[in-house]
Structure formats: C-alpha cells, structure tokens
Amino acid sequence: MSFEALNDAGRSLTNLIVILNDNEFSISKNVGGLSRYLSQIRTEPAYFKVKEVLKRAFVRIPGIGTDIAGGLDRIKGSVKYLIMQRTLFEDLGFKYFGPIDGHDLRELIRIFSKAKFIKGPLLIHVHTQKGKGYKPAEDNPKAFHCVSSFEIKTGKIHSYMGENYSDVFGKEMLRLAEEKDELIAITAAMRDGTGLVEFSKKYPKRFFDVGIAEDHAVTFAAGMTKGGLIPVFAVYSSFLQRAYDQIIHHISVKDIVKDCGLTRQAFYYHFKDKYDLMNWIYYTETARFMSSYNNVEHWLDGMVDLCNYMRQNRTFYINALNTTGQNSFQEYLHNYIQNISISAIENIQNTEYDENKWGFTIKFISTAFVGMIVRWAYNGMKEDPAEYVAKMRSIFDGSVLGELENPKMRCLQGIRVFIFETIKALFTLAVKNIWEIRLENLQ
C-alpha cells in the first residue's frame, strides 16, 4: 500500500513531504530487495563526501570561493548523478534528500524548514538508531521492541515462569516437521514472536520469512498448497487483517470456481463477490425451508427444518452466524422473523401494520429469536431442534398472539419469560465475545 501511495503522489505532483525513518531494525532479520537497497544508499557516502570536500576547497579560493560553494548547491543534481545513480524514489517522481542523521536535531530542523518551500513530492531519508540514548535498548533493541516491565537503571527485563503460546506452537511445529517432510513454515517478519526461531535453524530450507507482507504470504502459502506442500503461515490475528483480500478473492474464489467447474468470468457474471454468493445461499437455502410455512400457524415448523439443516451443515452455519454486517446470516434471520411477525399482526387484526404501535415489540421479538438461535448454535446445537423451537413457540404464542387476541392481559407472564431468555442469550454472547478478546490478547 505504501508503494501505491508513493506511485500516486509521484504522478499527481502533490506538495507532500514523506519522512522515511530508517532505523535498520526489525524484530526478525531484514529481508528482501528493498532492505538491501536502503542499506546500499545508507552506506554510499561518495556523493556526500565529495560534496563537502568540494565545498571546503572552493571556500578557500579568495574572492569568489564562497559564491562558487553556494552555486554547488544549485548544481548538486548534476554532480550527484556523476557519482551515484538515481534513487528509486526519484524514479517515482520524488525529490530525494538523504540519508540524514536522525539524531542531529539542528540538521533536521534545517532540512525540514527548507522542505516546506519545495514544490511537489519530497522524500526525506532519515537514518536513526533504535533505542538511541538508552544503552540497554541500544544493546538489545529486539528485547525492547515490545517490552514488559523492566528495571529502568539496569534494563533487566522481568521474566515470568512458564511457556507462552508461541513457545508451545514452535515446539509443536518442530515435532510435526519430523513427521512430515512437506511441512513448511512461513512468517511475515515475525520469526521470534511466532516461536519459529528453532524451526528456522533446524529446517532453513523449509522456513520462509517474506517480510512485512501478509497479503503476499497468504497467496504464497496457497501456491505451496497447490504444489503438494503443507504450509503453515504463523501470523498475529491483527496483522492478518491486511491479507483478507487474498483470502477472500485470490484463494476462496479460485477454489469455488475450480470445485464447481466454472470460470472466474462465469462466477462474476452471477455474483459481485464472495459475499454476494453468501447472500444468495442464505436466501435460497433458508427460503427452501420457510416457503412452505409462510403463515402464522405453521412458520415455526419451518424453523425446525432449518435448525435440522443447520445441524447437518454445522461448520458453514457456525461461521455464517459469526459473520456480522450487511452479509450477515443473523441479519437475514432477523428480517425474516420480523416480516412473519408483521404478517401475523395483519392477519389477526385484519388491518395494516402500525409501526408506531408495534415497531418496538416486533424488533424485540425478532432480535430475541435470533439470539436464541445463535445461543443454540454456539452451545453445539445439542438440544433437539423440535423441542427447542417448541419452547420459542410457546413464548411467541403467549407474548405476541396472546397480546393481539387479548390486549387487556398483555400476557405478562409470557413477556417476563421472553425477556429473561433474551437477556440470558445476550449475556451468553457477551461473555463469549469477552473471552475471545482475552484469548486474542494472550496470543
């Protein structure tokens, strides 16, 4: 994405200052062509040394020396390209300054002050040292990249007994690698953090660090799978967000069209994307069970059939219920139950649905029903669908139909039970989400 932004800025000639903080540090060893390129720029002092030598020499010439030295700055581009090649950033359309000592405050202020008045995109290459000024961090930057509590004076990091998840994962990878020669480990610049240090040492030809490129790592792993290997991409869940486009489009859609005997053109002719396909599945599969029961007396029978079908396709529907947003199965169920409830009101009262009178009740009922279905699914779908739906039927009949037929009673008991079950379902979901967040933080 950074390259895309640089490419666009260089094309548009926007007045933009980009500061490249080059501290030569990564948690794992730097890899890739760009790392080598920056190192080459960093260690190529020829131009800068020649420039300073020429300046000092011209200044000593009586009378005109100072003017010549000043002119050297104005022709520095020509002098520069006689000594060293253009930089990648200049080829992208940026004016390039650097590398500059990032710990020389006076020089930084001078460069930044000048940079404000330069037209077009400008890149300032700043060379810094990780942990500068704190010797323990300078000596061991890896340990202080994401540090727990430590002694400030000595830099001694407090250690805790026991293995963490990364250690356990690393040992298990070593065990599996002994059993399966085709097992491959992939990381995105997180060899240490994911527990793969020993694996990389023992199986260097089966270990791949692709740098900070999670999207590439996912597709890289997919290609290995096609070749008969067993790749394991070790990645933090927060960093995997960068790779969802590859997971959804470049891998999943390919698998779909291959297994179904379609071309990509045929897939995209019928569906906008994978999520559009998911919507189609929700509507066609659910409608198949509900269409025969589209009335007040029998629609819950359709819910029984649907729950049985969800049981048979457990993995798909658990994932579907975990998905939120515009393509949510929960949202589809919510809308379906809401429409059925509205239909019940109109049939019994023989009048059009009044949103002001019934809106809150209908939304409450549909949300509660979906919550109970989700709770049933998350509990392993253990309860018999017929018995589970029968409980919901009794509440629905008591709280909605009873209220319609006897407005004075309002079916207080049914509503109390309904509220209790709803709160219990929502509480269960909340606890589940809290534990998922805690587990992610532990990892």
Active site residue 214: yes
| Residue of 114, 219, 232, 220 whose CA lies nearest to 170 | 232
Active site residue 331: no
Distance (Å) of CA 378 to CA 23, 321, 389, 429: 47, 9, 16, 9
Say if residues 209 and 28 touch (Cβ distance below 8 Å): yes
Catalytic residue among 42, 51, 55, 130, which? 130
Distance (Å) of CA 442 to CA 165, 214, 234, 237, 352: 8, 21, 15, 12, 53
Distance CA 206, CA 212 (A): 19
Catalytic residue among 214, 285, 403, 421, which? 214
Active site residue 242: yes
Catalytic residue among 242, 285, 375, 421, which? 242
Question: Tokens 């460069």 identify what position?
Answer: 111
Distance CA 226, CA 235 (A): 21
Distance CA 214, CA 187 (A): 8
Distance CA 59, CA 163 (A): 64
Which amino acid does the sequence have at 197? V
The alpha helices in 43-75, defined as continuous H runs, are 46-59, 65-74
Residues marked active site are found at 130, 214, 242
